[in-house]
Amino acid sequence: MEIKYDKNRIIKILKDKKIKVTPNRFKVAFELFNSDEHPSVDELHQKLVKSNETQISFTSVYNIVKLFESAGLVKEILIENKIHYDSNITPHAHFICKNCGKVQDIELDKLNFLDEKELINFKTFTEEELKDNKIDSVEINFFGICGECLKEEKE
């Protein structure tokens, strides 16, 4: 795992959001913020239990992730009726492999057919069907077979 967020940066992020830094909150933040994966609470809990000497309950992990979500540090994404969490809260799309379920982030500026500024301004979209609604967010998901699965299929 590439460490994008070191101890000091994580502590600053939590304190900036007025979240008291506890050992468990730090551990969850470290795993979640440094992950390129989009783990469910169960996957995050399993990883923490395997990688740490101390025990942390599933309920603690769930409550901490929900605290981070309410603070705007992570967002919930629904993939095949299962909730996953994404620490990349900047506007981006996802590629979801139909074989293995792997989720990859796709930066919007790499999608030539999509204008990121228009997408961000989409919140003020006033088309007839949406005139009485307020859009909070937009999700773009691409579904297909990832490169790793394609490679395995060829072998």
1 falls within a domain: no
Distance (Å, rounded) from C-alpha 47 to C-alpha 132?
Answer: 44
Q: What integer pLDDT is reported at residue 36 of this predicted model? A: 85
* pTM for the predicted model, two decimal places: 0.78
Per the annotation, does 149 bind a ligand?
yes
Identify whether residues 148 and 127 lie together within a single domain.
yes
Residue 143 lies in domain: 92-153
Q: What is the pLDDT along the chain (155 residues), one digit of tens a residue?
A: 678 888 999 999 999 999 999 999 999 999 999 988 899 999 999 999 987 666 899 999 999 999 999 999 999 988 888 899 999 888 888 899 999 888 998 887 766 655 556 555 555 555 666 677 777 777 788 889 999 999 998 88
Residue 72, judged by CB atoms within 10 A of its CB (0-12, 13-18, 19+), counts as exposed
Q: What integer pLDDT is reported at residue 141 of this predicted model? A: 86
Look at residues 86, 104, 139 and tell me which one is the last residue of a structural domain: 86
Per the annotation, does 100 bind a ligand?
yes
Q: Which of 101, 76, 80 is nearest to 89 (CA)?
A: 76
Q: How many folded domains does the chain comprise?
A: 2
